[in-house]
Amino acid sequence: MALIVQKYGGSSVADATGIKRVAKRVTEAKKAGHDVVVVVSAMGDTTDELIDLAQQVTPLPPQREMDILLTAGERISMSLLAMAINNLGVEAKSFTGQQAGVITDEVYGKARIIDVSPSRIRDTVARGEVAIVAGFQGVNPSTNDVTTLGRGGSDTTAVALAASLKADVCEIYTDVDGVFTADPRIVPNARKLDRIAYDEMLEMAASGAKVLVLRCVEYARRYGVPVHVRSSFSTHTGTLVTDEPDPSKDTTMEQPIIAGVAHDRSEAKITVVGVPDVPGKAARIFEVVAAAGVNIDMIVQNVSAAATGLTDISFTLPASDGATGTQALMAHQPDIGFHSLQYDDAIGKLSLIGAGMKSHPGVSARLFAALSEAGINIEMISTSEIRISVVTRADSLDDAVRAVHTAFELDSEQDEAVVYGGTGR
Amino acid sequence: MALIVQKYGGSSVADATGIKRVAKRVTEAKKAGHDVVVVVSAMGDTTDELIDLAQQVTPLPPQREMDILLTAGERISMSLLAMAINNLGVEAKSFTGQQAGVITDEVYGKARIIDVSPSRIRDTVARGEVAIVAGFQGVNPSTNDVTTLGRGGSDTTAVALAASLKADVCEIYTDVDGVFTADPRIVPNARKLDRIAYDEMLEMAASGAKVLVLRCVEYARRYGVPVHVRSSFSTHTGTLVTDEPDPSKDTTMEQPIIAGVAHDRSEAKITVVGVPDVPGKAARIFEVVAAAGVNIDMIVQNVSAAATGLTDISFTLPASDGATGTQALMAHQPDIGFHSLQYDDAIGKLSLIGAGMKSHPGVSARLFAALSEAGINIEMISTSEIRISVVTRADSLDDAVRAVHTAFELDSEQDEAVVYGGTGR
């Protein structure tokens, strides 16, 4: 008998039929002898509909009120799910984030969890009942006001609750079968991974893989919560995110070098042209950008042309911060003393991720050779211990992902039956 | 400068346009120098849609979960209204029933308010901001679970909050212009009352007038809260429910005898035929009905036919309790010893209400004469100090209301422009 935290996203509870299907799944785990805590997102498009209503009322809703509004979504789905489970003869009770003891900071709209005190959840489970918890929300204890956790918030709620309850596993139910070696919409013969280490999953999430958000994986790694990513539409085993070795496999055997290939189309590139090549100028550029609240990803400084004493510096940033970044730099053009800015949002980023690459020096060479053979130009490169990322033209990105996936022998023998779509929050 | 509690029903905030109109009205009161606390119901059909969703999931939703579900409705309307008011340049914050300190008992679905501790509302008003409070909901302090107050709950929230805050007036905004001498859908030249005493309003509400629910008026009377019932679609003065004399009128002048004519189509009549006319039998009948949880309204015992030693006893009850009442009696037929039951739900009740009738002995005679002249048969009669009620055939009720309204000179000189429709909760 285990304690399982299950999280169901908005697409799994989009309507009464979906809620009843989830209820059946929950009761099956309960009847198999497990203790079950369920975290649930808002139904289907509820959140978008509420945002739309707010925009009909005002272009600039106060964030405190926006959070109160949005948390109505989980209130509806959690109570309906509790009703549906009761209807199947299993006692269930629903709890808001506040009732479940999810304590956050006061940053409305993207609050961070600072503590979880789930005494009511523990009591409910101890009575043999199923506890349903609203995802995506918590309470700011200094005001007793409700807060929301931002994108991927329900996944984070589930992992935080699993950590606090010392659950045996946190099951994240979604509309895909698990974590794949690449996005199956781009690489049809991508393979589902049975296991992936936290660090690899972190790099995947940071590099554009959508299946889990970064903060959720960070939370899981910090507290050692095993996360099982699986489909709510099938009973297939999904992907286990854990650092524990697979007991079914001989651990003396060499593990695969590469976990997968992630891609990201959401970045843009700024090139600062004609920067005086003297100490401190590069630092000044990044100070200005950081002061504007923009996170920089990759950086390349060209070799200085000795004749002019000028150099070019390129960096990538989220395309959504493009305007902020360029405006901040232009405002400081006089004191930095560069010639001009170039802005380019037609870029794509490919990342090759695998803990095994630490001990395999040939990985970069094989990556560059694969891209070269496919006729794809590399514009920027960055590396970590377990990741190599390259920037290409946006319209070459899909070809690049397929070429690299094949070169590292990640293609499956046959196409797997996969369902892939966007996930909620 | 006054402290005003304003309550807006679901039809006033049915969509973004309605919410913006209410926001404008609130800011006008604020800009006129008043402190304003607003109680709001769920938008339009939200509650019905949520009930429908629950019924799609289970035929028997647990009431605790039903209350959690339904309170999502006010959460949406209150935050949207706060946004809309902020958009007009007036600071506003929304609060759930729990945050506003509305403490109830633990009877989910029809909880009663046992205390109101609105410290957050007081603080908000003291800062010069508008406080928006979710109507219809409170918190059960023994579990910290949300409760709902049942029909008319938002009106009750508003009056309870006004009492606790010692507000100068509680304005109930609805889709009618005020309290009328009769339902304008039946009597087109019914007059809007400028004032009505608590006792009269209580009798009106208990006798079928829909504009305010009984418990709300009871609360207002107990704490002496002046209630101003008015339309959210016009700026006309409505009806003030108060025991204070009207300062604009000469109080030595005689007040009108009659406040209005109420009607009720929701009752049914049970006649217990052939009851042995011995002491204790009538008591036994009403014990049985009360034990089944059914409230009895009017009672008539026929004169006993001396030859048989048998009598008939008729009483009225809510038609929705008809099946419960008849089943309870049939189960006790052997020990009570009656012959048979007759059930009749084609009845209507007319009530004439006015504090002035205490000192005018001719009121009953005038009522019976008016009905007789109109050819309407009276089946049952009951009276209180300030009310006379009669039961007629249901299909004679409208004619009866019109005849009585005219006989007591309640008709207005000209038709008033009135909007009349069902109110929400």
DSSP string, B191-249: PBPSEE-HHHHHHHHHTT--SS-HHHHHHHHHHT--EEEEETT-----EEE-SS--TTS
Query: Across the interface, which of B16, B50, B94 has its CB nearest the CB of A57?
Result: B16
Q: From the CA of B150, how many Å to the nearest CA of chain A?
A: 18
- CB-CB under 8 Å, A68 with B83: no
pLDDT tens digit sequence for A30-44? 999 999 999 999 999
Q: Does pLDDT of B122 surpass 60?
A: yes
Q: pLDDT by residue (tens digit) across B393-402?
A: 999 999 999 9
Q: Give A325→chain B minimum CA distance, Å.
A: 29
Among all residues of chain B, which has the CA nearest to that of A70? Answer: B76
Check whether A116 has a pLDDT greater than 70. yes
Nearest Cα of chain A lies from the Cα of B420 at a distance, in angstroms, of 27
Q: Which of A125-134, A211-220, B331-340 has the highest mean pLDDT?
A: A125-134
For residue A418, the model assigns a pLDDT of 46
Q: What was the pLDDT predicted at A152?
A: 87
DSSP string, B250-290: -TTSPPPS--EEEEE--EEEEEEEEEE-STTHHHHHHHHHH
For residue B166, the 8-state DSSP code is T
Is A175 part of any known ligand binding site?
yes
Q: Quick one: angle between helices B322-331 and B281-291, nearest 10?
A: 130
Residue pair A270/A342 in contact by the 8 Å Cβ criterion = yes
DSSP state of B110: S
Q: What is the pLDDT of residue B151?
A: 82
A205 shares a domain with A82: yes
Residue B327, helix vs strand vs coil: helix
A234 and A263 assigned to the same domain: no
Q: Which residues of A touch B16 (CB under 8 A)?
A: 53, 56-57
Q: Pick A130 or B356 by higher pLDDT.
A: A130
Does any domain span residue B222?
Answer: no
Predicted TM-score (pTM) of this structure = 0.86
Closest by CA position to A225, among listed A291, A157, A277: A157
What pLDDT is attached to residue A305?
Answer: 66
Q: Kindly determine whether residue B93 and residue A65, on different chains, have CB atoms separated by under 8 Å.
A: yes
Categorize the per-residue pLDDT at A257 as very low, low, confident or very high, splitting at 50, 70 and 90: confident
Three-state SS sequence of chain A? CCEEEEEECCCCCCCHHHHHHHHHHHHHHHHCCCEEEEEECCCCCHHHHHHHHHHHHCCCCCHHHHHHHHHHHHHHHHHHHHHHHHHCCCCEEEECCCCCCEEECCCCCCCCEEEECCHHHHHHHHCCCEEEEECCEEEECCCCEEEECCCCHHHHHHHHHHHHHCCCEEEEEECCCCCECCCCCCCCCCCECCEECHHHHHHHHHCCCCCCCHHHHHHHHHHCCCEEEEECCCCCCCEEECCCCCCCCCCCCCCCCCCEEEEECCEEEEEEEEEECCCCHHHHHHHHHHHCCCCCCCEEECCCECCCCEEEEEEEEEHHHHHHHHHHHHHCHHHHCCCEEEEECCEEEEEEECHHHHHCCCHHHHHHHHHHHCCCCCCEEEEECCEEEEEEEHHHHHHHHHHHHHHCCCCCCCCCCCCCCCCCC
Size of interface A-B (CB pairs under 8 A): 108
pLDDT value at A419 more than 50? no
Same domain, A96 and A232: yes
Cα–Cα distance, A401 to A413 (Å, whole number): 18
Task: Determine, yes or no, domain membership for B193.
Answer: no
β-sheet bridge partners, residue A190: none
Its domain, for residue B81, covers 3-175
Tell if the CB–CB gap between A16 and B80 is shorter than 8 Å: no
Which of A55, A80, A95, A99 to probe the B interface (max B CBs under 10 A)?
A80
Cβ-based contacts of B134 with chain A (< 8 Å): none
Is B418 a residue whose pLDDT tops 50? no
Q: Which residues contact A52 (CB under 8 A, 6 or more apart)?
A: none
Cβ distance B65 to A53 less than 8 Å, yes or no, reads no
Cβ contacts of A419 within 8 Å, gap of 6 or more: A175, A176, A177, A231, A233
pLDDT over 70 for what percent of chain B?
Answer: 95
CATH code of residue A383: 3.30.2130.10
Tokens, residue A26: 């929950």
Q: Does residue B306 carry a pLDDT above 80? A: no
The predicted pLDDT at position B254 comes to: 57
Could you tell me if A159 and A194 lie in one domain?
Answer: yes
Dihedral sign, CA of A394, A399, A402, A404?
A: negative
- Do A345 and A288 share a structural domain? yes
Residues of B in contact with A82 (CB under 8 A): 62, 65, 68
Q: How far is B42 from chain A (nearest CA, A)?
A: 12
Q: What is the mean pLDDT of chain A?
A: 92
Q: Is residue A421, in this structure, part of any structural domain at all?
A: no
Q: Answer whether residue A176 is part of any domain.
A: yes
Q: What SS3 state is found at B6? A: strand
Residue A230 and residue A269 share a domain: no
Contact B75/A72, CB-based, under 8 Å? Answer: yes
Indicate whether A313 and A207 sit together in one domain: no
pLDDT at A416: 47
Least confident of A265-269, B157-161, B309-313, B405-409: B309-313
**Chain A: residue whose CA lies nearest to B66:** A79
- Which residue from A minimizes the CA distance to B64? A93
d(CA A335, CA A102): 47
Residue B169 lies in a domain: yes
Chain B positions touching A73 (Cβ under 8 A) are 72
Chain A partners within 8 Å of B73 (Cβ): 72
Mean pLDDT (whole number) for A256-276: 93
pLDDT value at A421 more than 50: no
Residue B409, pLDDT > 50, answer yes
Chain B residues with a Cβ under 8 Å from any Cβ in chain A: 16, 19-20, 50, 53-54, 56-62, 64-66, 68-69, 71-73, 75-76, 78-80, 82-84, 86-87, 93-94, 99, 144-145
- Give the residue numbers of the binding site of B for ATP: 7-10, 174-175, 185, 210-211
Nearest Cα neighbor of A241 from A264, A257, A219 is: A219
The beta-carbon neighbor of B20 closest among A19, A57, A83 is A57
Rounded to the nearest integer, the mean pLDDT of chain B is 92
Residue B408 has pLDDT above 50, yes or no: yes
Find residue B266's DSSP bridge partners: none
**B419 pLDDT band (50/70/90 cuts)?**
very low
Chain A nearest CA to B33, separation (Å): 24
Q: Which helix (H) or strand (E) holds B341?
A: strand B340-344
pLDDT band at A250 (very low <50, low <70, confident <90, very high): low
Does residue A248 lie within any of the structural domains?
no
State whether residue B337 is helix, strand or coil.
Answer: coil
Which chain A residues are closer than 8 Å to B99 by Cβ?
144-145
Which of A417-421, B149-153, B348-352 tops mean pLDDT?
B348-352
Q: How far is CA B303 from CA B74, B274, B378, in A?
A: 54, 12, 17
Q: Out of A149-158, A250-259, A307-316, B268-277, pick the least confident.
A: A250-259
Task: Say which CATH number the domain at A143 has.
Answer: 3.40.1160.10
**Which of A19, A57, A66 is the closest to B84 by Cβ?**
A57
- Encode pLDDT of A402-414 as tens digits: 999 999 999 987 5
Q: Does the annotation place A10 within a ligand binding site?
A: yes
- Does the beta-carbon distance from A93 to B20 stay under 8 Å? no
What average pLDDT does range B203-225 have in this prediction? 93
Kindly state whether residue B263 falls inside one of the protein's structural domains.
no
| Partner residue facing A80 (CB), from B64, B69, B86 | B69
Distance from CA of B93 to the nearest CA of A (A): 7
Residue owning tokens 């014990």: B287
Look at residue A302 and tell me whether its pLDDT is greater than 50: yes
Same structural domain for residues A103 and A211? Answer: yes
Whether the pLDDT of residue A304 is over 90: the answer is no
Determine the Cα–Cα distance for residues B337 and B204; give it in Å rounded to an integer.
38
| Residue contact B69–A53, C-beta within 8 A | no
Position B423 scores a pLDDT of: 41
Closest chain A residue by Cα to residue B67 = A79
Within a domain: residue B38?
yes
Instruction: Tell me which chain A residue has its CA closest to the CA of residue B23.
Output: A57
C-beta atoms of B65 and A76 within 8 A: no
Q: What is the least distance, in Å, from the CA of B172 to any CA of chain A?
A: 23
Per-residue pLDDT band at A423 (split at 50, 70, 90): very low
Question: B252 falls in which pLDDT band (50, 70, 90)?
Answer: low
Of all residues in chain A, the percent with pLDDT exceeding 70 is 95
Say which of B68, B84, B94 has its CB closest to residue A79: B68
Nearest chain B CA: its distance from A241 CA (Å): 33
Do A132 and A83 share a structural domain? yes
| Closest CA of chain A from B146, distance in Å | 10
- pLDDT confidence of B422, banded at 50, 70, 90? very low
Residues from A in contact with B at Cβ < 8 Å: 16, 19-20, 50, 53-54, 56-62, 64-66, 68-69, 71-73, 75-76, 78-80, 82-84, 86-87, 93-94, 99, 144-145
A271 and A234, same domain (yes or no): no
Q: How do strand B169-174 and strand B3-8 relate by DSSP bridges?
A: parallel
Each residue of A360-398: pLDDT tens digit? 878 999 999 999 999 999 999 998 889 999 999 999 999
Cα dihedral sign, A247-A250-A251-A254:
negative
Contact between A76 and B72 using a beta-carbon 8 Å cutoff: yes
Cβ <8 Å between A86 and B20: no
For residue A81, the chain B residue with the least C-alpha distance is: B57
How large is the average pLDDT for residues B20-35?
A: 97
How many structural domains are present in chain A? 2
Whether the per-residue pLDDT at A417 is higher than 60: the answer is: no
Q: Contact B57/A82, CB-based, under 8 Å?
A: no
> How would you label A59-93 residue by residue, b for 16+ Cβ within 10 Å and e otherwise?
eebbebbbbbbbbbbbbbbbbbbbbbbbbbebebb
Phi and psi at A329, nearest 5°, equal -70, -45
Q: Is the sign of the CA dihedral A165, A169, A171, A172 positive or negative? A: positive
Q: Are residues A74 and A185 in the same domain?
A: yes
Contacts of B20 in chain A (CB under 8 A): 57
Contact A86 B57 (CB under 8 A): no
Q: Which of B57, B71, B79 faces A65 most closely, judged by CB atoms?
A: B79
Q: Do B87 and A19 touch (CB under 8 A)?
A: no
| Residues A288, A331 within the same domain | yes
H runs (alpha helix) in B353-416: 363-373, 397-407
The residue type found at A86 is N
